[in-house]
Amino acid sequence: MQNEEVVILRDKSGARFQFPRAEIVEIQADEKPVEQAPEQEEQTIKASKKASILLELAGGAAFIPGTVTGGAASVDLLVGSHHIGNRHLFAGAGIGYHGLFFSEEKYNFLPIQAVLRMPLMEQKHAPVFGIAVGYGVALSKDYLGGIYAGLDLGYKCQLNEKTAIALVLFAQFQQARITQTETIDGNAFTNRTGRYLVTSGLKFGLYF
């Protein structure tokens, strides 16, 4: 510490020494001043806060290719890292609920998935690209689940160091296996067929 009259020094032990300012010929700053230590510590703590939650809400159209068209709604809760290196890149995993509704039938799945959400530019406003892969667990005994995959492309706004919002177009693929039983001439025949469910629409994401 110094002013126009005195210079006060403190060594590593905490002892203080006071000198008249007029007797000081030259002052050289240390390469790592003690006064900067708290600021460096605060920056380290801030950089270490990498855990983040991503909540995604989506709605759109559902298709069974070559047959019928219906509607779809979903919610996903994902936990992961929002910072990898110096980028606001989200990588994590989680679960959700996906419902597909057709005129005569409906499908409900609990997707267990790993996801990646990557901004194409490291700016406050940037395009964002995302992928998801996992397994959709069927929530009904009428069908079995299967492989799940998703693709996102949209726009992301970084509100602060951890919080961001995103609005994207999405396409999702879900495999389902249907068990069908038919009785012919008193004999029961069971047949399992694969069914592919496709959804697309608009998704809103909140990072916090």
Tell me the CATH number at 132. Answer: 2.40.160.20
- pLDDT given for residue 83 in this prediction: 76
Domain-located, residue 1: no
Q: Is 34 helix (H, G, I), strand (E, B) or coil?
A: helix
Say if residue 66 is in the same domain as residue 20. no
Domain-located, residue 77: yes
Taking all residues of the chain, what is their mean pLDDT, rounded to a whole number?
85
Say if residue 133 is in the same domain as residue 33. no
Of 14, 30, 45, the residue at which a domain comes to its end is 45
CA distances from 88 to 50, 113, 127, 160, 192 (A): 10, 20, 12, 11, 44
Mean pLDDT, range 14-35, rounded to an integer: 75
Domain-located, residue 38: yes
Number of domains comprising the chain: 2
Integer Cα distance of 52 and 82 in angstroms = 6
Structural domain span for residue 18: 6-45
Q: Nearest 5°: phi and psi at 53?
A: -120, 140
- pLDDT given for residue 9 in this prediction: 86
Say if residue 39 is in the same domain as residue 63. no
Integer Cα distance of 162 and 14 in angstroms = 38
Residue 48 has pLDDT above 50, yes or no: no
Say if residue 40 is in the same domain as residue 56. no
Residue 204 has pLDDT above 90, yes or no: yes
Say if residue 69 is in the same domain as residue 166. yes
Q: Work out the pLDDT band at 32, boundaries 50, 70, 90.
A: low
Say if residue 106 is in the same domain as residue 10. no
Task: Say which residue the tokens 């929530």 belong to.
Answer: 139
DSSP 2: B
CA distances from 69 to 5, 7, 41, 61 (A): 84, 81, 57, 7
Residues 6+ apart with CB under 8 A from 114: 92, 93, 132, 133, 134
Say if residue 18 is in the same domain as residue 94. no
Six-digit token pair at 171?
């396409």
- pLDDT given for residue 65 in this prediction: 84
Say if residue 28 is in the same domain as residue 117. no
Taking only the tens place, the pLDDT of each residue in 62-114 is 998 878 899 999 999 999 987 777 777 889 999 999 999 998 889 999 999 99
Q: Work out the pLDDT band at 22, boundaries 50, 70, 90.
A: confident
Say if residue 109 is in the same domain as residue 134. yes
Say if residue 145 is in the same domain as residue 72. yes
- pLDDT given for residue 132 in this prediction: 97
Taking only the tens place, the pLDDT of each residue in 105-139 is 899 999 999 999 999 988 889 999 999 999 999 99
